[in-house]
Amino acid sequence: MSASLRKFLITRLLLTIPMVLILVTIVFFVMRVLPGDPIRSQLGPKVSAEKAEAIRERLGLNRPLAVQYADFVWRTVTLDFGNALTSGERPIRDELAERLPATIELTVPAILVTAIVGVFAGAYAAKNRKKPQDYGIRLFSIFVYSLPVFFMGLLLQILFSVRLGVLPLSGRMDTLLLTRFQPRTNFYVLDALLTRNWPAFRSALAHLVLPAVTLGLSLSGVFVRLTRVNMIEMLQADFITAGRARGIWERTLVYRHALRNTFIPIMTLLGLQFAILLAGAVLTETTFSWPGVGRYMVERIQLRDYTAVQAVIAVFAIFVAIISLLIDIVNAFIDPRIRY
């Protein structure tokens, strides 16, 4: 590892700490300035003052603001957010441990669909600029980006589940298999693969197809246009012209040389979209009854669960900071100029 890369990695890692602290601080104070009493919103206006005060004392909401902030920061660092208002004595950490793997299991293949469809379709459109293929791909990108994700999900459900009957309608696994399935990590595909439970593995993959494709296609339009614009600029560069003069195949110039040099903006947006998907897959999870963190947060917002909502937003903030760090590291390896 070169000295410049080592210095860049250390600097970027140190900058992540205040970034996470700022995000957590914003979450804390935004939740405090929202109108209403979370205890009375949860238990109703007729709750006795003694009971409300007892719950407020148990949650530490009657302590000074500085003490609450320090406690919240420490709980965020240790990932110990206490118990949810609506779940009795069950820790929020356990509930997130069940829901977060479901969201990640959905987001990873969705971002792969986004990257494969968006990047290669955009490169192909740039290669065939101002030809029918280019116009067709651009219309496709506008269509999938403008179509609401829940409506796209409903269309795919009607086509592949109701009409053709080739894919499951909703959920993460068949109910009969799920009753006998014992997950270890709550990543159903991985758990079924590790235990060699092939019926469960096929069921988990089948249930993953429609929500992942829906979520991936809804974002692919952005990457089609981003890749196309950068590829058109790159295909006019001097080294591409020199390559054509030397007789290098056009496919090699497009997909190996030009596309590689457009990866910096694509990787940056891809990483940011991955972080957004983790926090924003609510509509897809609701449409397909997918028990992820996004759906969990919506349920807790409806129940006015103050502590659970605060914990989920803090976890999302940490994920955004970590993914942003990983994006910069990958970009530093792709383009050495970023290190200086």
C-alpha to C-alpha distance for 188 and 183, rounded to whole angstroms: 6
CA distances 201 to 52, 183, 197, Å, are 47, 12, 6
Asked, for residue 320, whether it belongs to a domain, the answer is no
Asked, for residue 3, whether it belongs to a domain, the answer is no
Asked, for residue 36, whether it belongs to a domain, the answer is no
Asked, for residue 192, whether it belongs to a domain, the answer is yes
Q: What pLDDT was estimated at residue 66?
A: 85
Q: What pLDDT was estimated at residue 201?
A: 92
CA dihedral 296, 302, 306, 307 (to 10 degrees): -20
pLDDT tens digits, the chain, 340 residues: what are they?
667 767 777 787 788 788 888 878 887 887 777 666 666 666 666 667 777 777 777 767 777 888 888 888 888 888 787 777 666 667 888 888 888 888 889 988 998 998 899 888 888 888 888 888 889 999 999 898 888 888 888 999 999 999 998 999 888 888 888 888 888 888 999 988 888 889 999 999 999 999 999 988 988 888 888 888 888 888 887 888 888 888 888 778 777 777 777 777 787 778 777 777 766 577 788 888 888 888 888 888 777 777 788 888 888 878 877 887 887 777 777 666 665 5
Q: What pLDDT was estimated at residue 274?
A: 78
Asked, for residue 72, whether it belongs to a domain, the answer is no
Asked, for residue 126, whether it belongs to a domain, the answer is yes
Q: Is 246 exposed, middle or buried (0-12, 13-18, 19+ CB in 10 A)?
A: exposed
Asked, for residue 252, whether it belongs to a domain, the answer is yes
CA distances 34 to 30, 37, 103, 204, 306, Å, are 6, 9, 27, 40, 11
Asked, for residue 338, whether it belongs to a domain, the answer is no
Range of the domain at 194: 92-302
Report the CATH number that the domain containing residue 191 is assigned in CATH: 1.10.3720.10
> How many folded domains does the chain comprise?
1
Q: What pLDDT was estimated at residue 337?
A: 63
Q: What is the DSSP string of 246-305?
A: TT--HHHIIIIIITGGGHHHHHHHHHHHHHHHHHH-HHHHHHTT--SHHHHHHHHHHTT-
